[in-house]
Amino acid sequence: MSNEQLKEKLDTLQCHFTWHLGVTGHAEPTHILQKLAVEIRHTPYQNQAALLGLQAYLYQLKGQNKEALQSLKDAEEHERQDGQQAAAAASLIIYGNYAWIHYLQASYQEAESYLEQIQELCPTPWDARLIPYIQAQKGWSLLAIRARNGERARECFEVALMLEPGNRYFHAGLGVALYSSWSYFWYPDIASKAIIQLERTVLEQPDNYRAKIYLAKLLEQADIERSIGLIEESAEKSSDPDVLKASALFFLRRSTERAIEILQRALQQDPGYHLLHQALAKCYKIQWLNAKKEDKNNILEAAINDLEQTLQKYPDLDLVFVKLQLAEFYGTRDPAQEEKIYKELQERKDTLSPKGHQALSLYWGKFFLYKKKSLNEAKAKFMDGYKIPMLTEERKECARRLTKMAWHCHSEEADAIYRFIQETDRHLPAEFAGTNLD
C-alpha cells in the first residue's frame, strides 16, 4: 500500500501513538521517563504493558529507537502473564506501537506486517471483549503523564467498568484517576468519589501503598488519625520511592528530620530519581527557615554542600528545582551567585518544562523584589510565570505576588496588573474552566 494508505490505517489503531496523550516540549519526555521507570518497578496493579508501551512512545519522541523497541519487547513479556482478554488487548496495543515506530523509522514493510498481525488478532475494528482492557491501558497511560489527565483517565476506567463491573484493577485505576483529578481541580464531589474507590482498593489490595497514600491525603481533613496511620504504614512497609516521597512531604509540616530521614532512605534505593532530590531540597529549605538562629548557618552550609554534590553527580537528571533552591541558598550570602544560576537556566529555557519555566520566573521575580528592590523587573517575571497555562502552585504564587504588588501601586498601575490577570485568564485552555484561580 502507499505511504498515505499506511498512515490512514495507522491512525485508526488503538495505541499510544493515537491516544493524544498531551506530551509537549523537549523537556517533558525526559521528566516523564524518569517518573515512569519508578512506576514500572513499583506499581502493584495490572498496568505493566501499558506503562512499557508509554515508555516506548516517549523514547521514540526522543529519537531513541533502540530503547523504544526494547520497551515493547519487555511489554510482550508482561503481556504473557495477563489473563486471556487482557493479554489480547495488550497485544493489539503493542503491535500498534510496533507499527508506528517502524513507520516513523521509514521501515514501511515492517509496519505493514504488524498491521497484518493486528488484523489476524482482531478481524473486526472493535472486539467488544477487548474494549474494557484497551480503555484501562489508555487510562493508566494518561495517569502516568500528569495529574491533569485525571478526568480523561476517569472516563476510560468508567467505560471499562461499565463493561466489566467487577474488575478490581479497573476499580483501582478509577480510584487513582479520581484522586489525580481532585489533586488538580480540588472539587469536593470528586474527593468523596475517590475515597469510595480507594477504600475498596486498599481492602482488596492491602499491598497497594500508592492507593493508601492517596487515601491518606484525601482523609487528612476529615480523619487525621486514620490519615497518619496510613502514612506511617506506607512509610514503614513500602519500597516505592514515590510513596516514600509522599510520606516525607506529609511529615515535613510536623518534623523536617523525619521527612529528611525517609527521603534519604528512598535515595538509597533509587539514587537517580530526580523527584527525591527535589523533595529533599524543599526539606532543607523548611529546616533552615525553622531553625534556631545559632543553627541556621550550619544547616545552610550542609544543604548547599549536599545540593552541589547532587548536581555534580547527576548532570543528566532534570534537577531544575534543585538548582533553583541552591540559587536561593547562595543568595543569602552572594546575590550575584544566585542570579548567575537564573541566567544560566534562562539561556536554556527551551529545555525547561512549563512548570520549570514557571518556577524560574517565580524565583527570579522574588530575587528582583527582595535583593534588587526592582519592582518593575519583579512584576515582569511574575507575569511571565503567570502567562504559562499550567495550573501549579508556582503559577498561583505568581498571581499572589502580582495581587500584593497591585495593593501597593498607584491606581493606574494596579488596574494594569488586574487587567493583565483578567486577560490572561480569558485565554486559558478549556481544562481551567471552573477552577479556582483567585
Looking at the fold, whether 141 and 156 belong to one and the same domain comes out as no
**Residues 85, 167: one domain?**
no
Whether pLDDT at 195 is above 80:
yes
Number of domains in the chain: 3
pLDDT digit string (tens) for 155-192? 999 999 999 999 999 999 999 999 999 988 877 889 99
131 with 166, same domain? no
Q: Write out the DSSP string of 400-419.
A: HHHHHHHHTS-HHHHHHHHH
Judged against a pLDDT cut of 80, whether residue 39 lies above it is answered with yes
Tell whether 204 and 271 lie within a shared domain: no
Lowest-pLDDT choice from 72-86, 90-104, 266-280, 289-303: 72-86
Which of the pair, 154 or 24, is modelled with greater confidence?
A: 154
**Do 228 and 246 fall within a single domain?**
no
Q: Are residues 130 and 1 in the same domain?
A: yes
Among residues 173, 39, 36, 18, the alpha carbon closest in space to that of 93 is found at 18
Are 338 and 300 in a shared domain? yes
Counting Cα atoms < 13 Å in the Cβ hemisphere of 310 gives: 28
- Which pLDDT does position 126 carry in this prediction? 62
The number of residues in the chain equals: 438
DSSP H or E stretch at residue 112: helix 108-121
Looking at the structure, tell me whether residues 69 and 192 fall in a common domain: no
* DSSP secondary structure code for residue 271 in this structure: T
Residue 50 in any domain: the answer is yes
* Mean pLDDT over each residue of the chain, to the nearest integer: 91
Examine residue 383 and state whether it is found in any structural domain, yes or no.
Answer: no
Do 94 and 140 have their domain in common? yes
Residue 380 resides in a domain? no
Which position has the higher pLDDT, 124 or 14?
Answer: 14
Residue 153 banded pLDDT, cuts 50, 70, 90: very high
Alpha-carbon Rg of the chain, whole angstroms?
24
Question: Residue 26's pLDDT is what?
Answer: 55
Dist. CA 180–CA 424, nearest whole Å: 25
The pTM of this model reads 0.88
Q: How confident is the model at residue 425 (pLDDT cuts 50, 70, 90)?
A: confident
Strands (E), 33-109: none
Domain's final residue, options 145, 173, 194: 145
DSSP 388: S
Determine, yes or no, domain membership for 318: yes
Q: What cell numbers appear for 286 in the block?
A: 523548611
Domain membership of residue 419 (yes or no) is no
Residue 410 confidence (pLDDT): 84
- Tens of pLDDT, residue by residue over 304-313, are 999 999 999 9
Percent above pLDDT 90 for the chain: 75
Given 145, 161, 191, which residue is the final one in a domain?
Answer: 145
- For residues 227 and 282, membership in a common domain is answered with no
Is residue 401 in some structural domain?
no
Quick one: 141 and 159 in the same domain?
A: no
Mean pLDDT to the nearest integer, 354-382? 95
Report yes or no on 414 lying in a domain.
Answer: no
pLDDT at res. 435 = 44
Its domain, for residue 243, covers 239-352
User: Mean pLDDT, to the nearest integer, of 3-19?
Assistant: 93
More confident residue, 348 or 104: 104
Res. 316 pLDDT band, cuts 50 70 90 = confident
Mean of pLDDT values over 44-49: 77
Q: How far apart are CA 48 and CA 140, in angstroms?
A: 9
| Per-residue model confidence (pLDDT) at position 432 | 57
Work out the pLDDT band at 45, boundaries 50, 70, 90.
low
- CATH code, domain with 159: 1.25.40.10
> Would you state the pLDDT for residue 379?
96
Domain boundary among 298, 317, 352: 352
pLDDT over 70 (residue 29): yes
Report if residue 165 sits inside a domain: yes
Tens digits of residue pLDDT in 208-256: 999 999 999 999 988 999 999 999 999 999 999 999 999 999 999 889 9
- Shared domain check, 124 and 83: yes
